Amino acid sequence: MPTITVSTTDGVARVNLARPDVRNAFNADVIAELRDAFLRLSDDPSVRAIVLGGEGKSFCGGADINWMRGALELSYDENVADAEAMSDMFRAIDRCSKPVVGRVHGAALGGGAGLTAVCDIAIASDETLFGFTEVKLGIIPAVISPFVLGKIGASHARALFLTGERFDAARALHIGLVHEVVAPDALDAAVERVLGEIATAGPSAVAAAKALVPQVAAASYDDSRDITARAIAKQRTSPEGQEGLRAFLERRKATFAR
């Protein structure tokens, strides 16, 4: 059985972890299927946005117990390969050209918190429990750390990585891991509102804006000057940029190609 489901309607792809009996926990199959799905969706011109969620009572409860049990028998080199596969999955989501909206509920622990971090826009229900709980098992949140640090910064990561403590949605909002917290019965409406905002934006502009963020964040000012100047010049002279600017000046709604 597949470990995730993927469906697309009206330009929105919905990717759901589909192992509710184990709180949508990670194993090798989940990792491979998520990576392949996001690589495919990133190149799909019919997709404008992606919603990442989980079936059942939880978004993602972390690593599967049976998968972790198998890891006890792995050699050092096998552990490296295993971790690299997981890193490739997170990177596929993080670098996906389409905006990724996280629909987070129930629990987002360990790798589940890492999944939250790679969502461009993360919306959580107020009963969600978060945690970078790896140290409680004698391991560390190594693979997710580049993505989490980019989201919440070193100060919060030091406090939460070292204690492994669980925390609520209010704290997740405070540290920037999620962007909005709503009541459980308002979660879908909040996701749809964000999708509605994305739908009114230029598709290539959204992709370019997403690509711009990590480029500028990693650049010196001198380098960012060139990166940003070329990025805006490319977008302004594109058909989409021309249409958007003309529509604004002519006080009409822009018509962007899908």
Angle CA(114)–CA(148)–CA(31) in degrees, nearest 5? 30
Sign of the C-alpha dihedral computed for residues 257, 48, 92 and 154 taken in this order: positive
Report CA-CA distances (Å) from 69 to 63, 65, 66, 74, 99: 10, 6, 5, 10, 35
Among 35-39, 168-172, 203-207, 249-253, the range scoring the smallest mean pLDDT is: 249-253
Q: In what order do the strands lie in the sheet with 129-131?
A: 107-109, 129-131, 166-168
Examine the pLDDT at 181 and tell me if it is beyond 70.
yes
Q: What is the pLDDT of residues 155-170, one digit of tens each?
A: 999 999 999 999 999 9
pLDDT at position 1 = 67
Q: What is the pLDDT of residues 25-37, one digit of tens each?
A: 999 999 999 999 9
Dihedral (C-alpha) 67, 71, 73, 75: value to the nearest 10 degrees? 150
Question: Distance between CA 252 and CA 187 in Å, rounded?
Answer: 32
Confidence tier at 66 by pLDDT (50, 70, 90): confident
pLDDT at position 193 = 98
Q: What is the pLDDT of residues 220-238, one digit of tens each?
A: 988 998 888 998 899 989 9
Question: Distance between CA 219 and CA 14 in Å, rounded?
Answer: 33
Question: Distance between CA 59 and CA 113 in Å, rounded?
Answer: 9
pLDDT at position 72 = 81
**pTM of structure:** 0.93
Question: Distance between CA 233 and CA 213 in Å, rounded?
Answer: 16
